[in-house]
Chain A
Amino acid sequence: MTEALRVTDLSKTFPQAGGLFSPARPGVRAVRPVSFAVEEGETLGIVGESGCGKSTFARMLVGLLPPSSGEIEIEGRRLDNADPAKFGKMIQYVFQDPISSLNPRKTVRQIMEAPLRRLHGMARAERAARIAEIFDSVNLRQEFLDRYPHEFSGGQAQRIGIARALAAAPRILVLDEPVSALDVSVQAQVLNLLAGLKADFNLTYLFISHDLAVVEAVSDRVLVLYFGSVVEIGRAESIFRHPRHPYTRLLADSAPVVGRPLTAPEQKDTELPDPLDPPPGCAFAGRCPRATDLCRQEEPPLRPMGEDQLAACHHPLED
């Protein structure tokens, strides 16, 4: 297996404007240094709740946001300047809100043509053929091409969004909550389409979601983010069954499951730490039932625990 994507120490700090007469304050660390690699053809699931930095992370990967530090390598080639035109042919993005990601005043054809023209410099006839090909593969009818985005349902719009990303012929797709705006009966249509496309086009996926069950169903490996840091990485089939990090377990216990009695999972506090004034040590310590003084002082590093699993915890859970 070859490596499709390698991320080394990627981080993002948003500077905070100081007042006119006060010194600049330290920035908000949206993503702390993150490193991992994804194999070609793999689906890496990324889960986390609001404020965990998953969208910031995704935007850095596709070049929409310049990282504060770190490197992105795609198939061994380093991408070091945030230029979407350069990134575009390698890695593409599917947005969460399918309607808002399509310009309301452009026809679907105009939207589809942009990447073919700008990234691949295709001529008109070539473009038409390619669009027809892509539309076939995402099960959209040709006559949709001359319509405007508001005429489509969420599921159709999301398929158009996927088609646009595919038009760039990328190696990797970053799927940022691609189905969370969709109804559950339509959600599966899109997920199954994505699974088929991956095989057909030999793609690698980064699948970002807050829905553990969906992530588990589509991913090979899962990465859990909390407050801008990776707290755990492991294989999809085992990470929620045998979590090492208490936060992963909290997530798994919180997901509503038919038949499980309603009890609030064990945790002290539901508040995230203040991003402007992060505590030292482990960010989860305030909510963690296992936290000790060590956790509140020292940030735990990500280290291997058991087979194919890494967790950042001083007091990991046993089986």
Chain B
Amino acid sequence: MSKFLALLFRNRLAALGGVVIAVIFVLALITPLLPLQSPDDTDTAHRFLLPFSGGHLLGTDQLGRDLLSRLLWGTRLSLAVGIAAALAAGFVGSAVGIVAGYFGGRTDNVIMRGVDMLMAFPYILLALAIVAALGPGLMNALIAVAAVNVPFFARNIRGITVGLAGREFVDAARLSGKGHIRILLTELLPNVLPVIVVAMSTTVGWMILETAGLSFLGLGAQPPQADLGGMLGEARSAMISSPHTSVVPGVMIFLIVMSINLLGDGVRDALDPRLRSGALSRPKPATDVRRAGPVPEATGALLEVQALETQFHVGRRIYRAVNGVSLAVRPGECLGVIGESGSGKSVTALSVMGLVASPPGVITGGAVRYKGDDLVGAPYGKLRSLRGDRVAYIFQDPLSTLHPLYRIGDQLAEAITAHHGVGGREARQRALKLLRDVRIPNPESRIDNYPHEMSGGMRQRVGIAMALANDPDVIIADEPTTALDVTVQAQILSLLDDLRRDRGLAIVFITHDFGVVGQLCDRVAVMYAGQIVEEGPTQAILDAPAHPYTARLIACVPELGGGRRALAAIPGLPPSVDDLPPGCAFAPRCARAQEGCTAAPIDMREGAVAGTPGRAVRCINPEEAIA
């Protein structure tokens, strides 16, 4: 709760709104205690007095009544009515929404049909009809405004509830023996409540406006009683001769609604966990670069990553996702990058072309070189011209990575036209050929499909075709088969393997699966906690892993054909990358750890292991000696 308030008041606008509405609230509360004239005392001799005259701070209205007094009493009334309407609508609407969303099926159908029916009216028609039936009056206006807003709450809360009711914890509660009522009240309600609070706090202002509106039309508060809307309505006839009688209540409505809106937005933001992590920011076209330290020299590889550091800056925390990674890939070579979740393998891959979401991502050191040119901090135009043309990507989930509203043919053609000035017809011909290259059956009919009309395997073939569109030199494949079934994965892998042999492609293949690496990759780099801990020819590493982490990880992978057995595990958990130890990050889980392991950063040692040259290990006490 204190965390919530701290977040709320860190937002200065929300704080301002909170202060203004608090002052108005207090004034409204103590109005009966203030030394004011009665709001209904008429004095026709002193009509339309200007502010600061005749003992009336804000002047008088058309009947000579004290405007300040009427303003405060009116504010009191407007606030009370608005809040009452919001509470009533919020309560009824939320109850209806939760019930419909949780029970689903026919209950949901019947309730939501009714709600849709009510929402089929422009809201004021319904409000006017209710007032017409009940007769003008403040209470009836309140009922009308509340009733009109019930469907909005119901629909909103139902949507949230449907999402929650499908979550597994609701099933778990049922299996724990909880009944429907108990699940509704103790499992769902605590999760829906923040949404209800947000919905109410953002609609109170709106409700006050609406009731003021009805009073303005003469359908709400009846004379001599007046809320703010009523005052404005009465003042309208004298608007031109005595504008101050209109301005006073109008400005008050404006102040109330604006401060409530500011506060409501603040409440919404403070309750939204995504905002705290910076996830609501839009990613920039290229990752931010704040590079300190020297830039490594070029070495002449096709694509090389040199001492790359990529971090995520969230609030005051710094997550060192990539911590000095160096990689190089030659033409025609397939380099595997393997690691568990959080090891920084995907961030490394995305850093190459500046695709790490910024904010919160920042590249803080090292270089990425394509044919010797440093791309870190390169102008956006240069990055753009290389992306998809010389260095292309294949991503993990082909459903979310293809645009749902464009035909796949158009998405393929766009990959070509983004770099080459070819006409629409030629681009389409090329797209067709690409589909054929990735062995999609019936490409002529498939080219006009939308992604949702294809299976996962077919979609990933489209993803591969898109990467091939401009005959790139390097393809970076970020877990391209993780979301697929094994039978489909086998086909995609063999397709990738054929393509790279036919075209001499360099592939950087990011994965968590040793089986895949063993089949596809020439060399492999093993990542742990943002660093490469071992690198070398795939077969050599699989046969004789030198880093204890590599050895343990290989032992963990169950292989088909081993029969029933106990599986190896690595005790403990990977470290959090916002709190890395100074030395080897694996030391706390390592059976071979010794004193020097955690003292200082450990360098990569290059050499031959078990007779195979070209290996590198970041360990001072490796499983196999390095010569």
Contact = CB atoms under 8 A, between A and B. Distances in A.
Interface of A: 49-50, 59, 62-64, 84-85, 87-88, 92-93, 95-97, 100-106, 111, 114-115, 117-119, 153, 155, 161, 164-165, 167-168, 183-189, 191-192, 195, 210-214, 216-220, 236-237, 240-241, 250-265, 267, 269-272
A195 B567 CA distance: 10
Interface of B: 167-169, 171-179, 182, 187, 190-191, 340-341, 441, 455-458, 485-491, 493-495, 497, 512-516, 518-520, 542, 552-553, 556-571, 573-574
B486 A164 contact: no
Contacts of A115: 175-177
Contacts of A211: 558
B542 A258 contact: yes
**Quick one: which of B190, B487, B520, B563 has the most chain A CB within 10 A?**
B487
Contacts of A153: 573
Contacts of A111: 172
Nearest to A92: B175
23 contacts: A63-B175, A64-B175, A88-B175, A95-B168, A103-B173, A103-B187, A104-B169, A118-B182, A168-B175, A168-B177, A187-B556, A189-B569, A192-B566, A212-B560, A213-B557, A217-B567, A236-B564, A254-B487, A256-B519, A257-B515, A264-B490, A270-B488, A271-B455
Contacts of A63: 175
Nearest to A154: B341
A195 B561 CA distance: 19
Contacts of B568: 188
Given A237-B564, A267-B487, A270-B455, A214 B558 contact: yes
Q: Which 5 residue pairs across A and B have the least CB separation, nearest first?
A: A118-B177, A256-B515, A258-B518, A188-B569, A114-B176
Nearest to A240: B560
B137 to A, nearest CB: 41
B190 A261 contact: no
Contacts of B491: 264, 270
A149 B456 CA distance: 32
Contacts of A262: 490, 493-494, 497, 519-520
A49 B487 contact: yes
Given A105-B190, A114-B177, A184 B486 contact: no
A188 B557 CA distance: 9
B210 to A, nearest CB: 33
Contacts of B570: 185-186, 188-189
A237 B564 CA distance: 7
Given A213-B562, A240-B561, A270-B491, A254 B175 contact: no
Contacts of A50: 456, 485
Given A195-B566, A254-B487, A256-B519, A184 B175 contact: no
A29 to B, nearest CB: 19
B160 to A, nearest CB: 13
A103 B191 contact: yes
B518 A118 contact: no
A155 B561 CA distance: 26
Contacts of B182: 118
A114 B182 CA distance: 11
Contacts of B556: 184-185, 187-188
Contact of A84 (B174, B456, B569): B174
**Quick one: which of B168, B169, B560 has the most chain A CB within 10 A?**
B560
A95 B171 contact: yes
A132 to B, nearest CB: 18
A90 B488 CA distance: 37
Contacts of A62: 175
B168 A97 contact: yes
Contacts of A189: 569-571
A95 B172 contact: yes
Contacts of B494: 262-264
Contact of B176 (A88, A184, A212, A237): A88
Contacts of B512: 183-184
Contacts of B495: 264
A241 to B, nearest CB: 7
Contacts of A257: 515, 518-519, 559-561
A227 to B, nearest CB: 13
Contacts of A87: 175
B398 to A, nearest CB: 13
A299 to B, nearest CB: 21
B486 A49 contact: yes
A186 B490 contact: no
B439 to A, nearest CB: 9
Contacts of A260: 519
A184 B340 contact: yes
Nearest to A43: B564
A84 B175 contact: yes
B565 A186 contact: no
A183 B552 CA distance: 13
Nearest to A238: B563
A106 B520 CA distance: 45
A267 B141 CA distance: 70
B567 to A, nearest CB: 4
Contact of B172 (A102, A191, A192, A271): A102
Given A210-B485, A216-B560, A220-B564, A183 B340 contact: yes
A31 B495 CA distance: 33
B230 to A, nearest CB: 43
Contacts of A161: 172
B588 to A, nearest CB: 13
Nearest to A187: B556
**Quick one: which of A59, A87, A105, A261 has the most chain B CB within 10 A?**
A105
Given A189-B571, A262-B497, 9 more contacts: A59-B171, A84-B177, A102-B169, A103-B172, A103-B173, A103-B191, A114-B173, A187-B569, A258-B559
Contacts of B565: 217
**Quick one: which of A185, A188, A257 has the most chain B CB within 10 A?**
A185
A164 B553 contact: no
